[in-house]
Structure 1
Amino acid sequence: MNAVREGSPFTELLGPIYQKVDAAGLVIGLVAEEKHCNARGIVHGGLLGTLADIAMGYSAAFSTEPPTPIVTTSQTVDYVGKAEKGDWIEVHTDVQKVGRNTAFANCYFHVGSKRIARASAVFSVTAS
């Protein structure tokens, strides 16, 4: 995986975030640090929600040529496990559709072979 080079000031606070493209699509990853954890030592759900937004947004936007300008309209995250400090978290994306007005995507979070969360989002296509 390579470090994401084109981030925002906000994503710089989270990182480093890594990315690669596999046969199924974009995969992003991050090593969980203390700054990502809540008071109980578990990675905060807000971090996972943010990573979901980044992964699905990048994946949907860059699935077209030229990239489609989009903004998040709605996002849902279901937490089914946990990550802790030191864990490598991978987010695998799946773009359902990028249309003229909306785009749809899903993503799945893994720590090793264990799935810890899934997310889905709807994006609005903005004027170019």
Structure 2
Amino acid sequence: MAAGEENRTVPARFERLKRGGPYIAGLGELYVLHEGGRIVIAMHVAQRHTNMRGIAHGGMLASLADTALGIGLTLACEARHSFVTVSLTTDFLDAARPGDWVEAHVRIDRIGGRVAFAACDLRTGEKALLRASGVFAVMAPLTPEQLAAGY
């Protein structure tokens, strides 16, 4: 691999995720593993995701965590609802670097009538990068037009 070139190998069983809206499309390609109640949203860190120190920007990691939580909640309720972030708490634990495959392992704590609670851990391999928890407003499901547009 040439200097600055990212490793783009996608682990087995992960599928390309084609949703998240325009903002997330700008973040990069997302992948999902959803089987047996397990929800993992993942992506490769690219050079464009780095800060001046050459590590993944904290805002990018927080965006990945927020997105993973919202998509995880939507998958968990079989798209009967969509979700909007009310509160997001993050703890940064370690750095990610270009070429890293970062996985957000989602845990759904509760989906109520008005709010939902979820948490996730971002990891690259066995290294913990970030811990996040969020509160989300429960919204009406997305329309077929929104889904077709990648939301």
- Quick one: which of 98, 123, 130 aligns to 1:110? 123
- Quick one: which of 57, 78, 81 aligns to 2:70? 57
**Cα shift readout 1:56-85 (whole Å, capped 9, x = no counterpart):** 111112212452222100000101111011
Q: Which has the larger strand fraction?
A: 1
- Quick one: which of 56, 77, 102 aligns to 1:89? 102
5+ residue gaps, structure 1: none
% identity of equivalent residues: 37
- 1:122 matched to 2:109? The reply is no
> Secondary structure of the equivalent of 1:28?
strand
Runs of 4+ in 1 over 3 A off after TM superposition: none
- 1:35 matched to 2:48? The reply is yes
1:127 deviates by 4.6
Rg larger in 1 or in 2? Answer: 2
Cα pair distance change 1:34/1:65, threshold 3 Å:
closer
Alignment-mate amino acid for residue 104 of structure 1: F
Task: Answer yes or no: is the 8 Å Cα contact 1:24–1:94 preserved in 2.
Answer: no
TM-score by length of 2: 0.79
Alignment-mate amino acid for residue 66 of structure 2: D
Alignment-mate amino acid for residue 81 of structure 1: D
5+ residue gaps, structure 2: 1-13, 142-151
Root mean square deviation, CA, Å: 1.4
C-alpha distance in 2 between matches for 1:59 and 1:66 = 10
